[in-house]
Amino acid sequence: MIALLLSIDPTLYAALGLPSENPAQPAPEPQLGQDGSGPLINSTQDFWKGKQGQRNTYPAAKESMRQRMALLITNIKFTTLSDRAGAERDEKNMYKLLVALGYEVVIHTNLTGKEIDATVIEFSKHKKLKETDSVVVVIMSHGKLGAVLGVDWKRDTPKNEEPDEFSIDNIYLHLGPKGCPALLDKPKIILIQACRGDKKGSELVKDGVSSDDASHCAGHEDFEEDGLRFVNSEKDFLALLSCTPNTVSYRHPVLGSLLIRYFVEVVNASAHVDHIDELAIQVQQRFEDSRIKIQMPTKDRVTLTKHFYFFPGI
Ligand SMILES: *[C@@H]1O[C@H](CO)[C@@H](O)[C@H](O)[C@H]1NC(C)=O
Ligand SMILES: *[C@@H]1O[C@H](CO)[C@@H](O)[C@H](O)[C@H]1NC(C)=O
Ligand SMILES: *[C@@H]1O[C@H](CO)[C@@H](O)[C@H](O)[C@H]1NC(C)=O
């Protein structure tokens, strides 16, 4: 009973001056960090060495890992759509993670669709891409199927104007073998936090536009066919999209989006021994286990032909 009192009300326990020796005290619960968070764990030299020269693993020489490049684009403030509260947190967490993984991060905030396109093209011409072993491209914004929205996106774009959006296809175009020979045969990891439609609603904020805009998506339904058509000219990509087609992605106004939170946590905990496919599965499992079963990230257009490890700390 004394042990129970101690566990329920330590203040009362102390005030009563009960005997301090108490045999039945339960062992403390292991601190998993309620939300699964913890510091980034480094790979061991042995682990890294063991993977070099293996045919099923992308090579990661130390020199090329010192030249890693990443692109991080975050749209927070929009002219007509709601601002993406919590996005600063995502940007900060993603930036910290990429730096910890050894990437030099090119960072941009609040871009229009055209500017996103220009930024990806500029990135594809960066000098260091010749040396890097891999790239990570993260784009976070409002979105719809097949596109992320620029900051000037409007619900009713006049007929003579292009909607302010960036077609996700363009990433594959700009970073593929034609647009970016420097990245030939190198893994290109794409992370997109944005809605791909408007199905379902919730109290959390979603990263998309609502209702009638869904009709805009029709033209982009050919995602999968495109994948087949590009199979020869497109290789070594893995995209993790925050949700399945036509559904919304959720973002907590303070803690940031679920995908980015889970991704950072999973990479911190497991990237020292697991390759990116496995990490993506672990992120998906976090959504499956989650109380809120409203969103399921999707691996998309995976053309990795080997395992890609981040090898943190090497
Ligand atoms: C991940 O690891 C980095 C570096 O150790 C740390 O700064 C960050 O807080 C960790 N993030 C989470 C969500 O655990
Ligand atoms: C983007 O918008 C947010 C929200 O208004 C602001 O805090 C931030 O400074 C902006 N960033 C840039 C680079 O303009
Ligand atoms: C992981 O490796 C990095 C780079 O070598 C180093 O700065 C950091 O202190 C290491 N972290 C731990 C926890 O050993």
Q: How confident is the model over 221-272, as pLDDT tens digits?
A: 322 222 333 333 678 999 998 887 777 777 887 788 888 999 999 999 999 9
Å from CA of 270 to ligand 3 middle: 15
Least confident of 95-99, 105-109, 178-182, 296-300: 296-300
- Mean predicted confidence (pLDDT) in 33-52: 86
Q: Is the pLDDT of residue 23 over 50?
A: no
Examine the residue annotation and report whether 195 is marked as an active-site residue of this protein.
Answer: yes
Least confident of 27-36, 49-58, 95-104, 289-298: 27-36
The answer for residues whose C-beta is within 8 angstroms of residue 23's C-beta and 6 or more apart is 3
What is the third-level CATH fold of 56-153+161-198+233-314? Rossmann fold (3.40.50)
Residues with CB under 6 A from ligand 3: 42, 313
Examine the residue annotation and report whether 108 is marked as an active-site residue of this protein.
Answer: no
Distances (CA, A) of 274 to 65, 193, 240, 267, 280: 17, 22, 16, 9, 10
Mean pLDDT of the chain: 82
Give the number of the atom of ligand 3 that is nearest the alpha carbon of residue 41: 13
Give the residue, 219 or 58, on which the prediction is more confident: 58
Amino acid at 83: D
